[in-house]
Amino acid sequence: MFVLVNLKTYPCDPIAIAEAVRDVNDTTDARLAVAPQAAHIERVAETGVETWAQHVDPIEYGSNTGHTLAETAADAGAVGTLINHSERRLKLADIDGALRAAERSDLETIVCANNPTQVGAAAALEPDAVAVEPPELIGTGTPVSQADPDIVRDAVEAAETVDPDVAVLCGAGISTGDDVVSASDLGTEGVLLASGVAKADDPTAALESLVEPL
Ligand SMILES: O=C[C@H](O)COP(=O)(O)O
C-alpha cells in the first residue's frame, strides 16, 4: 500500500514529519511519502523521504507569477504531485494541462476526485493514479473506507472500466491501521491522508500504527 501524507498548510514541523515518514518507511513493506507545501519541498526532500508536491499548475516556463511550475517542483526534489485536490480544484482543461506539465518533468501523478463519476473522468486523462475523497469526510477522522465503502468500491470499478493501469487511492478521515486495511480490502492501492499525522501529538506513533497491520 502507498501511504501519502499531505501536510496541507497545517502548522506542523515539515522536517520532523518528513524524518518520521522516512524512518517508518524503512520498517515496513508499505511505501510512504510526504507532500509538504511548495516552499518546503527542497528541505523535506533533503531528509531522504519520498517527496511530493501538493499541486502544479498547467504552465510552462515564462510569465506566470505566483504559479507552481512542475519543473521547479521536480528540481526541488519532488518525485510526484497531487493534482485537483479538493482544496485546490482545477477546471478539466487545467487538470489535463497540469498532468502534461507533470509528465514533462517525470513527476508521478495522482488526480483527486470527489466521487466515482469524477474518478472515471480523471482516469481518462491517464494519470498514474486517482484518489477518491468525499469532501464532507475530509478532516473529520471518520474514514471513507468505513463511512462510505461503496464510494470506494465504485471508484475502483470506474477507474478499472476506463483504464486498468490507473491505480486508485482513497482519502478522507484515514487515521488508523484498520482504516488502511479496509481501504486495501476495497481494492485500493493506497491512501491519501493528512490530519491523522500532521495534527497528531506524536506523528511517528501515528505512522507506526497506520502501517502496523500491513
Ligand atoms: O489530502 C488529504 C485529504 O484531504 C484527507 O485529509 P484528512 O486525512 O485530514 O481527512
Give the Å distance between the CA of 65 and the centre of ligand 1: 28
Interface TM-score (ipTM) > 0.95 = yes
Q: What pLDDT, in 10s, does the model give residues 106-130?
A: 999 999 999 999 999 999 999 999 9
Sign of CA dihedral 30, 50, 165, 189: positive
Return the ∠ at Cα 175 (arms to 173 and 177), rounded to 5°. 130
pLDDT of res. 104: 97
Task: Name the band, by pLDDT with cuts 50, 70 and 90, for residue 82.
Answer: very high
The catalytically annotated residue of 40, 50, 55, 85 is 85
Catalytic residue at 42? no
Q: How far is CA 37 from the centre of its chain?
A: 13
Q: Residue 11 Cα, ligand 1 centroid: separation in angstroms?
A: 15
- List Cβ neighbours of 138 (8 Å cut-off, separation of 6 or more): 86, 87, 171, 172, 173, 194
Q: Which of 142, 169, 174 to mutate to test the pocket of ligand 1 (most atoms within 8 A of CB)?
A: 174
Give percent of the chain above pLDDT 70.
100
User: Residue with C-alpha cell 500491513?
Assistant: 214
Task: Give the predicted TM-score (pTM) of the model.
Answer: 0.97
- Mean pLDDT in residue range 61-83: 98
Enumerate domains of the chain plus CATH numbers.
2-211 (3.20.20.70)
| CA 172 to ligand 1 centroid distance, Å | 5
pLDDT for 50 equals 98
133 is catalytic: yes
> With 90 as the cut, is the pLDDT of residue 21 above it?
yes
What per-residue confidence (pLDDT) applies to 145?
Answer: 85
Q: Given the CA of residue 197, which atom of ligand 1 is nearest to it?
A: 8
With a 6 A CB cut-off, is 138 part of the ligand 1 pocket? yes
Confidence of residue 142 (pLDDT cuts 50, 70, 90): very high
Residue 148 reports pLDDT greater than 90: no
